[in-house]
Amino acid sequence: MAVTGVGAAASTSTVSRKTIAEDFDTFLTLLTTQLKNQNPLDPLDTDQFTQQLVQFTGVEQQLKTNDYLAAMMLSAQGAGNSQAVSYVGKIVTASGSKSELVDGRAAWTFAVAKPANVTISVRDEAGNVVFRKQGSVAQGESVFVWDGVGDDGRKKPDGSYSITVEGRDEEGSLVEVLTEMTGQVTGVDFTGSEPVLIVGNARVNLSGVLSVRAASAGGA
């Protein structure tokens, strides 16, 4: 006499742990009944019983493992969301070329691998160059601060601006420039797979944040 149907019931991924436990009790009850009423001339195949029991136990363990992994993912996501929320009101520096002009001040951080002569172009949201400046910088990080006054001598409205930086060494060869952005976090977007910080009109992935400081340390 063979036991059937139990393995099929446990193999579906939508069965809850409560249902698994109930099915396991039913399995044991059915097994006990079979042992009591088995035909002495055709006893229960112990190998088949062992295989079904191992299969059932494996499914139960897999469901528990899935529950643990889901709990760990939720915990990690919650920690990431809490971290992102803690940035609201702080000044962050992140990879990117955008920054916010607020009260006549916008700041960018960029880095060069060696001393270079640089040409910095500030562009508005439409891509138009509104300010250009040339100068020389040492190896490493430099901070460019713009007062919001364009090449035409007019003060530009607050908003999102971007920069492009071209660097050349003494021989005139191009030098790689890594551009960053600095601004105050005003909100967080959780709709994607990763929290996104809202810095004015710019959006910065949490993983792109390079540094964070209190707004009282000097403003955006």
Residue that has been written with the tokens 């040339």 in this structure: 134
CA angle (17 as vertex; 12, 21 as ends), nearest 5: 100
Share of the chain above pLDDT 90, in %: 23
Quickly state the pLDDT bin for 9 (edges 50, 70, 90).
very low
Rounded Cα distance, 167 and 68, in Å:
51
Q: Which residue has the higher pLDDT, 21 or 54?
A: 54
Average pLDDT (102-108) is: 84
CATH number of 91-217: 2.60.40.4070
**pLDDT on residue 17:** 56
Token output for 36: 């009591």
What is the sign, positive or negative, of the torsion defined by CA atoms of 206, 185, 202, 81? positive
**pLDDT on residue 27:** 64
Average pLDDT (50-56) is: 66
Query: In this structure, what is the dihedral angle of CA atoms 52, 58, 64, 65, given to the nearest 10 degrees?
Result: -160
Rounded Cα distance, 7 and 197, in Å:
48
pTM of the entire predicted model = 0.50
Quickly state the pLDDT bin for 107 (edges 50, 70, 90).
confident
Q: pLDDT for 113-164, tens place per residue?
A: 899 999 999 999 899 999 999 999 999 888 899 999 999 999 999 888 889 9
Rounded Cα distance, 41 and 66, in Å:
43
What is the sign, positive or negative, of the torsion defined by CA atoms of 170, 172, 173, 176? positive
pLDDT at residue 111 above 70?
yes
If you average pLDDT over each of 20-34, 113-127, 195-209, which comes out highest? 113-127
Residue 93, helix vs strand vs coil = strand
- Locate the domains of the chain by residue range: 6-85, 91-217
Q: Which residues pair with 203 in a beta bridge?
A: 198
Q: Is 205 exposed, middle or buried (0-12, 13-18, 19+ CB in 10 A)?
A: middle
**pLDDT on residue 201:** 66
> Chain centroid to CA 62: how far?
27
Nearest alpha-carbon partner for 10 in 20, 18, 25? 20
Rounded Cα distance, 17 and 3, in Å:
22
The DSSP string of 65-96 is HHHHHHHHHHHHHHHHHHHHHTTTTSEEEEES
